[in-house]
Amino acid sequence: MRNLYRCVSMLVVVGIVAVGCSRSPEAKKARALERGARYFEGQQYREAIIEYRNVLRVDPKNAKAIEQLALAHFELGELGQAFPLLVKAKELDPDNVTIRAKLGAIDILRRKPEEARAEAEFVLGKQPDDFEALLLLAGAAESESEVAAALNRLEATRATYGGRARFHIAIGALHLRRQDAAKGEAAFREAVAKEPKSVEAHSALGNLHMMRRDVAAAEQEYKIAAELAPADSIARMKLADLYLMLRRPEEAKQVLRQMTEKAPEAFPAWRRLAEIAFLERKYDESLKALDPVFKKNPSDLEGRLLRGRIHLAKRETTEAIQEFQQVLKLEPRLVLARHQLALAQIQAGNTQQARSELNEAIKADPSYVDAILLLAELDIQGGAVKPAIEALEQVVAKHKTIGQAYVLLGSAYLAAKDPGKAVQTYRQLVTLAPKDPRPPYLLGVALRSQGKAEEAKKQFEASLTLAPAAIDPIAQLVAMAFAERKPQAALDRVTRQLAVAPKSGGLQYVLGEVQLARGEPQQAEAAFTKALEREPNLTAAYVQLARVYVGSKRYDQALAKLNEALKVNPKNVVAMMLMGAIYEQKPDIAKAKETYQKVLAVNSRFAPAANNLAYLYSEHGGDKDKALELAQLAKEGLPDDPRVSDTLGWILYKRGVHQRALGLLQDSATKLPEHPEIQYHLGMTQLKLGNKAAAKTALDKALTQGGNAPWAEEARSTLSQLR
């Protein structure tokens, strides 16, 4: 019995050990590697990716898992995810010719031919007749000598590889590089003859037709390639992209939907559908299209990057920042994510963080123009004109067709008070884009800054000839007419432009602005109303119409218009600020506070809202410490604004910090000498410091200018005591 008990006990122990071993990290890793290999061999790359990622959770440096994961992403065409893994695999196993060949293929797409050539030569050094390396060497050939050498090397293997379509495709591509389209086409047709069902051969012919601008022939070849290819193939994506390029989005969507129906895990198709919806501003539809991608792979880089852009477009700034930061955790070297994160930080008002991200992006890729341009723009806005000019001059020297670089360079010269160079830069831009209305407009601005009014007017008129409904040039012409004290000329010029573009809501808006400046509020009201009838999303017209209503004390109508503006753009700070001011005027202090709080929820460092809310907390009950914090925040944002100095000074006065309050209030009173409430604040502060004569002078001035104000009684009482 005792022996039987011992046997049973041993079996239990063995069972426990076996279960423990089956659950050990090493056992899990081994099973995941085995399943991954099985899936990879069966071309079930999605499943393979999951298994290899499971291996890396247990063993982050497992060379086999990194290699196979890289190759799986490569086979799926997810090169952005494949590339860093291939680099890591090469570090772990420098002699792996498969990895080196794939890296070379991506290098060609990255326009790094020298690096691709180095990878090809390495593989050929190990395996002199390696077909993939020969094709890679052909793809990397640029100069005439390199093309000739690649052709000779391929021709030497014709007996071995001449029966393959890819051989002839490579030959054809090399002939095209020699500008010999006839031989290139002949080689591609030979590829089709050798393998009539070769997707690559038909795609190559399609590419050649596109190069010749024979869209119908290209479409035919792309269609054949798509029909021959698997449901989730790049060939089908290429057909969809052709339709997008031809502005036939519905046909593109049809191709992509067929892909997702036949291959539910065709993630590139889901992503492209999401991108199309994003470009159409159908943001919820775009997010929905990404759901199948995230259901299978929550860490999908391209999907997360797009989701971040959607949040950014919806002004869901916090969510956008979190999404881009997560992308960068997964792939720190992804410069596009750095750039998008910088845009999100700018939207959040975090300029310094944006600069940091842009500098990191440029450090990772010094040729990344978008990041260079955005950093230059921030430099110009921040007054750092010299580094902006240096960076932009380098961009213009290297990339002579990037219009935005000229736009920014011209504005940098203007900021540096060098309008001559700005004019020169914008003249280059006019030559570069002769049909674009913006360059002549910018040239007009630069000429106007030089004092060349008549030349500037000609450029603004040229801009309007190209774009009759453009707002900026007509606004400049109107401003010049008012500067010349010709209000009737301003009105006549807008009226003439409306005759050319009668359906323009923007021009009606400018007409309203002119009529306001002429002191014609009723006519302005009619113009702003027409502007909104023609362009219901023109939020500036809602705001100006509300200002007209405020002028005639129609506060409820003004609030109604501002609410309409906020329906178009719920984060319109200008509309909210005017709404807060109206509530103060009514007065409805509780709603005014609530409105300014909403502004700060959109932009936590928006100084005007911080200033107004600080004042309301101080004068009408609220958190006194918060009032001081907000007033200091406003002072940081608007250090020279006399109203901000007044708010902070008065709050410090109430807290007994009289000497510091005095300096702020004196500065405020100097800049706004006719503002009665500021004089009242200054007088009360002078009195606390024992400066009775100065106090009397300030309080007298305050009562002379604002004798019916709420603080007037206290001012009179104080004055009578002084006398």
Residue 397 has pLDDT above 90, yes or no: yes
What percent of the chain is predicted at pLDDT more than 70? Answer: 97
Per-residue pLDDT band at 605 (split at 50, 70, 90): confident
Per-residue pLDDT at 12 = 36
Per-residue pLDDT at 200 = 93
Please state, in angstroms and as integers, the Cα–Cα distance from residue 32 to each residue in 35, 75, 309, following that order: 5, 20, 34
Q: In terms of C-beta density within 10 A (0-12 exposed, 13-18 middle, 19 or more buried), how is residue 413 classed? A: buried
**Contact between residue 260 and residue 266 where contact means Cβ atoms under 8 Å apart:** yes
Closest alpha carbon to 189 in 178, 198, 222: 198
Residue 9 has pLDDT above 50, yes or no: no
Q: Compute the distance between CA of residue 34 and CA of residue 42 in angstroms, rounded to an integer.
A: 13
Per-residue pLDDT band at 4 (split at 50, 70, 90): very low
Q: Compute the distance between CA of residue 41 and CA of residue 528 in angstroms, rounded to an integer.
A: 67
Closest alpha carbon to 270 in 286, 294, 290, 295: 290
DSSP one-letter code for 143: S
Q: Compute the distance between CA of residue 638 and CA of residue 70 in angstroms, rounded to an integer.
A: 52
Q: Tell me the mean pLDDT in the region 373-378.
A: 96
Instruction: Name the amino acid, one letter, at 581.
Output: A
Q: Compute the distance between CA of residue 255 and CA of residue 223 in angstroms, rounded to an integer.
A: 10
Per-residue pLDDT band at 418 (split at 50, 70, 90): very high
Residue 32 has pLDDT above 80, yes or no: yes
Per-residue pLDDT at 23 = 58
Q: Residue 96 belongs to what H/E stretch?
A: none
Q: Which residues contact 384 (CB under 8 A, 6 or more apart)?
A: none
Q: Tell me the mean pLDDT in the region 562-577.
A: 93
E strands of 521-622, at which residues? none
Residue 417 has pLDDT above 90, yes or no: yes
Residue 18 has pLDDT above 90, yes or no: no
Task: Read off the pLDDT of residues 85-133 as tens digits, 9 standing for 90 and up.
Answer: 999 999 999 999 899 989 888 888 888 888 888 888 898 888 888 888 8
Per-residue pLDDT at 104 = 86
Per-residue pLDDT at 132 = 86
Per-residue pLDDT at 422 = 96
Residue 17 has pLDDT above 60, yes or no: no
Residue 22 has pLDDT above 70, yes or no: no
Q: Tell me the mean pLDDT in the region 466-487.
A: 95
Average pLDDT over the chain reads 90
Task: Read off the pLDDT of residues 46-71 as tens digits, 9 standing for 90 and up.
Answer: 888 988 898 888 888 899 989 899 89
Complete DSSP assignment for 202-219: HHHHHHHHHHTT-HHHHH
CA 13 to chain centre: 61
Query: Among positive and negative, which fits the CA dihedral 256, 262, 264, 265?
Result: negative
**Contact between residue 547 and residue 520 where contact means Cβ atoms under 8 Å apart:** no
Q: Tell me the mean pLDDT in the region 595-615.
A: 92
Q: Tell me the mean pLDDT in the region 230-245.
A: 93
Closest alpha carbon to 426 in 382, 437, 465: 437
Q: Tell me the mean pLDDT in the region 625-644.
A: 93
Per-residue pLDDT at 5 = 36
